[in-house]
Amino acid sequence: MATEAVALVEGEEPGGLVFHPFDQFEIKPLFGEIGDPVSWYTISNATFWMAMAALCVIGLLVIGTRGRAVIPSRVQSAAELVYGFVYKMVEDVTGKEGLKYFPWIMTLFLFILFSNYLGLLPLAFTPTSHIAVTAVLALGVFITVTVIGFVKNGMAFLGLFWMKEAPLFLRPVIAIIEVISYFVRPVSHSIRLAGNLVAGHAMIKVFAGFAAIAALSPLSVVAITAIYGLEVLVAGIQAYVFTILTCIYLKDALHPSH
Amino acid sequence: MEGDIAQFGQFIGAGLAAIGSGLAAIGVGSVAANYLGGALRNPSAAASQTATLFIGLAFAEALGIFSFLVALLLMFAV
Amino acid sequence: MATETITAEEALAVHGAEAAGPGMPQLDVSSFPNQIFWLLVTLGVIYFVLSRFALPRIGAVLAERAGTITNDIAAAEELRHRAREAETAYDKALADARAEANRIVAETKAQIQADLDAEIEKADAQIAAKTAESQAAIDEIRESAARNVSEVARDVAREIVAAFGADADAAKVDAAVDAKLGERA
pLDDT tens digits for A172-191? Answer: 888 899 899 899 889 888 98
pLDDT at A258: 59
Spatial contact of A213 and A195, defined as CB atoms under 8 Å apart:
no
CB contact residues (below 8 A), chain A span 11-50, against chain B: 22
Q: Decide if A233 touches B, using CB distance below 8 A.
A: no
Distance (Å, whole) CA B23 – CA B12: 17
Distance (Å, whole) CA A193 – CA A235: 9
pLDDT at A106 over 90: yes
pLDDT band of A170, cuts 50, 70, 90: confident
Q: Decide if B58 touches A, using CB distance below 8 A.
A: yes
DSSP A178-236: HHHHHHHHHHHHHHHHHHHHHHHHHHHHHHHHHTTSGGGHHHHHHHHHHHHHHHHHHHH
Preferred mutation among C26, C28, C29 to probe B, highest tally of B CBs within 10 A:
C26
pLDDT at C94 over 90: yes
pLDDT tens digits for B22-49? Answer: 899 999 999 999 999 999 999 888 888 8
- Lowest mean pLDDT of A32-36, A142-146, A204-208, name the range: A32-36
Distance (Å, whole) CA A69 – CA C59: 12
Length in residues, chain B: 78
Local structure of A1: helix, strand or coil: coil
Region C123-136 average pLDDT:
92
Task: State the Cα torsion A104-A110-A116-A119 to the nearest 10°.
Answer: -110
Region A222-246 average pLDDT:
92
Q: Is C127 a member of any domain?
A: yes
What is the residue range of C107's domain? 43-184
- Would you call A46 and C33 a contact, using CB atoms and an 8 Å cutoff? no
Q: Decide if B7 touches C, using CB distance below 8 A.
A: yes
Q: Where are the domains of chain B?
A: 12-77
pLDDT at A1 over 70: no
The H or E element spanning position C91 is helix C55-163
Sheet strands (E) in chain A:
none
pLDDT at C157 over 60: yes
Q: Which residue of C has its CA nearest to A27?
A: C31
Distance (Å, whole) CA C94 – CA C86: 12
Distance (Å, whole) CA B39 – CA B34: 8
Q: Which is nearest to A137 in space by CA: A7, A55, A249? A: A249
pLDDT at A166 over 70: yes
- Lowest mean pLDDT of A17-26, A44-53, C37-46, C133-142, name the range: A17-26
pLDDT at A17: 67
Q: Decide if C2 touches B, using CB distance below 8 A.
A: yes
Q: Nearest Cβ partner of A241 from B54, B66, B76?
A: B54
Local structure of C185: helix, strand or coil: coil
Preferred mutation among A19, A52, A104, A198 to probe C, highest tally of C CBs within 10 A:
A19
**Phi and psi, residue A44, nearest 5°:** -105, 180
Distance (Å, whole) CA A129 – CA A116: 8
Q: Where are the domains of chain A?
A: 2-254
pLDDT at C184: 62
Q: Which residue of B has its CA nearest to C6?
A: B7
Name chain A's partners: 3 or more CB pairs within 8 A: B, C
Span B12-77 CATH architecture: Up-down Bundle (1.20)
Q: Nearest Cβ partner of B65 from A196, A244, A245?
A: A196
Q: Which residue of C has its CA nearest to B11?
A: C2
- Would you call A194 and C50 a contact, using CB atoms and an 8 Å cutoff? no
Preferred mutation among A133, A134, A197 to probe C, highest tally of C CBs within 10 A:
A133
What's chain A's Rg over C-alpha atoms? 22
Distance (Å, whole) CA B3 – CA C110: 133
CB contact residues (below 8 A), chain B span 7-36, against chain A: none
Region A103-117 average pLDDT:
95
Task: State the Cα torsion A30-A33-A34-A36 to the nearest 10°.
Answer: -90
pLDDT at A59: 92
pLDDT at B1: 52
Q: Which is nearest to A206 in space by CA: B30, C18, C1? A: C1
pLDDT at C1 over 70: no
Q: Decide if A196 touches B, using CB distance below 8 A.
A: yes
pLDDT tens digits for C46-93? Answer: 999 999 989 999 999 999 899 999 999 999 999 999 999 999 999 999
Spatial contact of A233 and B61, defined as CB atoms under 8 Å apart:
no
Spatial contact of A237 and B32, defined as CB atoms under 8 Å apart:
no
Chain B contact set for C9 (CB, 8 A): 75
- Average pLDDT of chain B is 86
Q: Decide if B65 touches A, using CB distance below 8 A.
A: yes
pLDDT at B2: 62
Distance (Å, whole) CA A88 – CA A95: 10
ipTM above 0.95, yes or no: no
Distance (Å, whole) CA A105 – CA A135: 16
Region A199-228 average pLDDT:
88
pLDDT at A10 over 60: no
Spatial contact of A196 and B61, defined as CB atoms under 8 Å apart:
yes
For a pLDDT cut of 70, what percent of chain C falls above it? 86
pLDDT tens digits for C13-57? Answer: 444 433 334 477 888 888 899 999 999 999 999 999 999 989 999
pLDDT at A79 over 60: yes
How many domains does chain C contain in total?
Answer: 1
Largest CA distance in chain A: 69
pLDDT at C168: 66
Spatial contact of C154 and C173, defined as CB atoms under 8 Å apart:
yes
Q: For residue C131, count other CB atoms closer than 10 A to its CB.
A: 10
